[in-house]
Amino acid sequence: MNLHEFIQLALAEDVGDGDHTSLSTIPADAQKRARLLVKEAGILAGVEVAKAIFAEVDPTFVVDVLMQDGASIKPGDIVLTVSGNARNILTAERLVLNCMQRMSGIATHTRELVNLLEGTRAKLLDTRKTTPNFRICEKMATKIGGAVNHRFGLYDMILIKDNHVDYAGSIEAAITQAVTYLKNTGRSLRIEVETRNRAEVEEVLRVGQVDVILLDNFTPEGIREMVRLIDGRYITEASGGIDETNLRAYAETGVDFISSGALTHQIKSLDLSLKAY
């Protein structure tokens, strides 16, 4: 799904057969304006999405953007103004706010975690733990906050996790079958393998043919030990049980990436509003 398709579906869900409140109370030719106000400090995200929503609802809108994605915002700031048909402004209002509030909450939390990594080699990754059909916006928000987008979906990378290993019979069997699949289908995808202990890491090192070794639910000291064992032969990623309280300790192990599902699935939206003026 691209952004245009997402906006069309979201509007269809909200508008149905018409915004009957606006249709019944606002004259069809009324021309009005509104401004998007900040009510809570954080990192702004979703401006480009808002512009796309306004353009989809009414291409004649005049949108004046005063603050860009990634900006630090505080209560009282004005992000943008929009002027045009009053009914159409009200139709766009809730979708703009729903997207920008959640995206800004994600970007704010992401930036807080990225700041904790400063001075280390580790980069923060997002995950597929996203809201169904809203992933495109959530991935945009984590990137605005300073994280690196991991795979977008099941189609753009091979990530062999614990259940794949268990179903395939072993790490070696899973890797071998994945490599054969790529060869037979003519695809060029990166292969990442999740490991749960030293023995599994050693098995990956023996088999090879992968790009990334995921170290899942290791302690920081365990990660440090595995990073030494891998010794730069593969990209390393840490995940599982990592939050703001221990993120720095994991980053200081020398691991390349740290992934966090909490970037998108445990977020409080930032308070924004669209007000007539």
Residue 129 catalytic?
yes
- For the four alpha carbons of 242, 155, 11 and 144, in that order, the dihedral sign comes to positive
Query: Is-contact 106 138, C-beta < 8 A?
Result: yes
The catalytic residue among 161, 196, 198, 224 is 161
DSSP letters, 92-142, are HHHHHHHHHHHHHHHHHHHHHHHHHTTTSS-EEE--S---TT-HHHHHHHH
The catalytic residue among 216, 225, 252, 271 is 216
The catalytic residue among 194, 200, 237, 256 is 194
∠ CA(258), CA(228), CA(117), 5° rounding?
30
Among 137, 136, 111, residue whose Cα is nearest residue 47 = 137
- For the four alpha carbons of 157, 163, 165 and 168, in that order, the dihedral sign comes to negative
Across-strand partners of 32? 84
- Under DSSP, is residue 65 helix (H, G, I), strand (E, B) or coil? strand
Strands 31-38 and 78-85: antiparallel
Strands 62-65 and 191-195: unpaired
The catalytic residue among 33, 35, 51, 94 is 94
- For residue 80, what are the CA distances in angstroms to 91, 182, 184, 273? 17, 47, 51, 11
Query: Is-contact 143 123, C-beta < 8 A?
Result: no
Residue 216 catalytic?
yes
Residue 161 catalytic?
yes
Residue 194 catalytic?
yes
| Active site residue ranges | 94, 129, 161, 194, 216
